[in-house]
């Protein structure tokens, strides 16, 4: 099964301007005249830039955008145009990307535990490639989707990743070969392996080690006349959430991954990945306004019209920290920021250094395109998440 590859790179402008602050702030000033806050700007140019960056740094790895990071239709359409493939985890996500025009052979059903109903949907919609990590799952797949192409997800280290994804998923690498054999004996096509090193993985060692473990399994399978064709290196590629953050260097990480791939694998092996955050995170700018302020605990508290239950939900589910910025300049003071709901838990920061703000002043956050709107609650306390505006 050939992995459909993306279109040829157009030479995307790689503006290395260290701070695009004035560009971002001009954009916010223009958009605030047209849209009510809160709104989240998704910059198409950044989606494209991130996609091309991925392609350029890991040319032998085909990216499948993990839509759970942000399933907004315009984002998916943008990636379809760019030639991306997609990682979906449910029948809903599958139908969503298909209805937007993605073709089934560009989709991986990358949830190791799938309901029978969802497996049947995959068969009907001809989404043939899927992951699994246990034997009972194989019985389900072989009964409801004979001939499906399967990748065994193995358990790998998630050391240093912000979100651990190996506590719940992944087969013991020791058993990998036998489970894949089992898949074959049940009439499925054992395509290869997948792993996930955890989300926002700043530790390249996780990838290098996982590649090494995978290579051993590939070797063993080959020796036993069951050559594997596909290795899915998952997602986890990190982004910078703060302007002056250090320790995130995708280019360096990618070059080490590439080296390891060349060193350990046969040229015929096809590589795929499932980046989510990396592709969409940097494209998002959340724009909120101050709806009230008070002085308590010796500092100014500013209440914003978006919070933990809305687009800052990543602070809970994604363990994410964000940088809060203001359009207003001037002397800064230690202040607190809170969301609009009645819950004290809906507090965004107790120690942010910002200028004195007034009602209606803008507070914005960059690099918030992933795991934000996607996990926001629809209408808690009557507050809706930000509208997404793709620009």
Q: Could you give the residue numbers annotated as active site?
A: 342
Residue 162 found at the interface with ligand PLP (CB under 6 A): no
What is the DSSP track for 311-375?
TTTHHHHS------EES--S-EEEEEEE-SSS-TT-EEEEEEEEE---TT-EEEESS--SSSGGG
The minimum distance between CB 320 and ligand PLP, in angstroms, equals: 11
CA dist., res. 174 & res. 152, Å (int)? 12
- Shortest distance in whole angstroms from residue 235 CB to ligand PLP: 2
Evaluated on CA atoms 13, 14, 17, 22, the torsion sign reads: positive
The one segment of 232-240, 258-266, 320-328, 329-337 that binds ligand PLP by CB under 6 A: 232-240
- Closest chain position to ligand PLP (CB): 235
- Site residues for ligand PLP, 75-104, by CB under 6 A, read 87
- Rounded to the nearest whole angstrom, what is the least distance from the CB of residue 367 to ligand PLP in the complex? 13
Residue 276 touches ligand PLP, criterion: CB under 6 A: yes
Q: Please report whether residue 361 would count as binding ligand PLP according to CB under 6 A.
A: no
How many residues line the site for ligand PLP (CB under 6 A)? 18
Q: Cα–Cα distance between 55 and 143 in angstroms, integer?
A: 37
Query: Nearest distance from residue 6's CB to ligand PLP, in Å?
Result: 17
**What are the two backbone dihedrals, phi and then psi, of residue 179, each rounded to the nearest 5 degrees?**
-70, -40
Q: Of 63-71, 261-269, 295-303, 322-330, which part binds ligand PLP (CB under 6 A)?
A: 63-71
Q: How far apart are CA 297 and CA 333, in angstroms?
A: 13
**Among residues 136, 225, 221, 145, which one has the least CA distance to residue 180?**
221
Q: How far is CA 219 from CA 175, 222, 282, 285, in A?
A: 14, 5, 38, 45
* Surface-to-core class of residue 282, CB atoms within 10 Å of its CB (0-12 exposed, 13-18 middle, 19+ buried): buried
| Minimum CB distance to ligand PLP smaller for 274 or for 361 | 274
Q: Is 277 in the site for ligand PLP (CB under 6 A)?
A: yes
- Residue 110 interacts with ligand PLP (CB under 6 A): yes or no: yes
Q: Does 66 bind ligand PLP (CB under 6 A)?
A: yes
Question: Is residue 384 helix, strand or coil?
Answer: coil
Per CB under 6 A, the segment of 11-19, 90-98, 231-239, 289-297 that binds ligand PLP is 231-239
Site for ligand PLP in 175-214 (CB under 6 A): 196, 199
Q: Which residues pair with 337 in a beta bridge?
A: 302, 349
Residue of the chain from 93, 118, 274, 346 that contacts ligand PLP (CB under 6 A): 274
69 binds ligand PLP, rule: CB under 6 A:
yes
State the minimum distance, in angstroms, from the CB of residue 182 to ligand PLP.
22
The answer to whether 318 contacts ligand PLP (rule: CB under 6 A) is no
According to CB under 6 A, which residues from 12 to 41 bind ligand PLP?
none
Cβ-contact 47, 283 below 8 angstroms: yes
- Beta-carbon contacts of 32 under 8 Å, excluding residues fewer than 6 positions away, are 287, 362
Of 71, 235, 307, 340, the one binding ligand PLP by CB under 6 A: 235
Q: What are phi and psi of 279, to 5 degrees?
A: -80, -35
Asked if 3 contacts 270 with a C-beta cutoff of 8 angstroms, the reply is yes
**What is the rounded distance in angstroms from the CA atom of residue 375 to the CA atom of residue 373?**
6
Stretch that binds ligand PLP, among 274-282, 294-302, 329-337, 374-382 (CB under 6 A): 274-282
**Interaction site with ligand PLP (CB under 6 A):** 66, 68-69, 87, 110, 165, 196, 199, 234-237, 274-278, 370
């Amino acid at each position: 099964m050939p992995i459909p590859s993306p279109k040829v790179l157009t030479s995307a402008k790689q503006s290395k301007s260290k701070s695009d602050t004035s560009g971002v702030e001009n954009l916010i000033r223009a958009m605030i005249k047209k849209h009510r806050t809160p709104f989240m700007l998704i910059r198409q140019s950044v989606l494209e830039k991130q996609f091309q960056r991925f392609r350029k740094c890991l040319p032998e790895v085909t990216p499948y955008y993990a839509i759970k990071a942000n399933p907004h239709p315009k984002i998916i359409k943008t990636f379809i145009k760019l030639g991306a493939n997609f990682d979906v985890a449910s029948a809903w996500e599958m139908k969503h990307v298909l209805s937007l025009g993605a073709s089934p052979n560009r989709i991986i059903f990358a949830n190791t535990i799938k309901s029978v109903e969802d497996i049947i949907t995959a068969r009907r919609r001809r989404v043939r490639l899927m992951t699994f990590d246990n034997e009972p799952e194989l019985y389900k797949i072989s009964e409801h989707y004979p001939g499906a192409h399967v990748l065994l997800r193995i358990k790998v280290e998630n050391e240093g990743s912000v979100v651990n994804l190996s506590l719940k998923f992944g087969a013991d690498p020791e058993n990998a070969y036998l489970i894949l054999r089992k898949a074959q004996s049940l009439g499925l096509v054992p395509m290869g392996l997948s792993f996930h090193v955890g989300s926002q993985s700043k530790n390249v060692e996780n990838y290098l080690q996982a590649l090494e473990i995978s290579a051993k399994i590939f070797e063993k399978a080959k020796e036993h006349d069951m050559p594997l064709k596909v290795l899915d290196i998952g997602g986890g590629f990190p982004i910078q959430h703060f302007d002056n953050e250090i320790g995130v260097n995708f280019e360096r990480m990618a070059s080490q991954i590439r080296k390891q791939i060349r060193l350990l694998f046969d040229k015929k092996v096809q590589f795929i990945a499932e980046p989510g955050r990396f592709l969409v995170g940097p494209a998002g700018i959340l724009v909120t306004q101050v709806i009230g302020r008070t002085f308590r605990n010796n500092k100014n508290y500013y209440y914003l019209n978006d919070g933990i239950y809305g687009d800052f939900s990543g602070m809970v589910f994604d363990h994410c920290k964000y940088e809060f910025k203001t359009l207003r300049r001037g002397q800064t003071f230690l202040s607190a920021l809170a969301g609009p709901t009645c819950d004290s838990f809906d507090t965004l920061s107790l120690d942010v250094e910002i200028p004195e703000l007034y009602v209606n002043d803008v507070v914005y956050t960059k690099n918030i395109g992933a795991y934000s709107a996607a996990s926001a609650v629809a209408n808690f306390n009557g507050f809706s998440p930000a509208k997404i505006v793709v620009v």
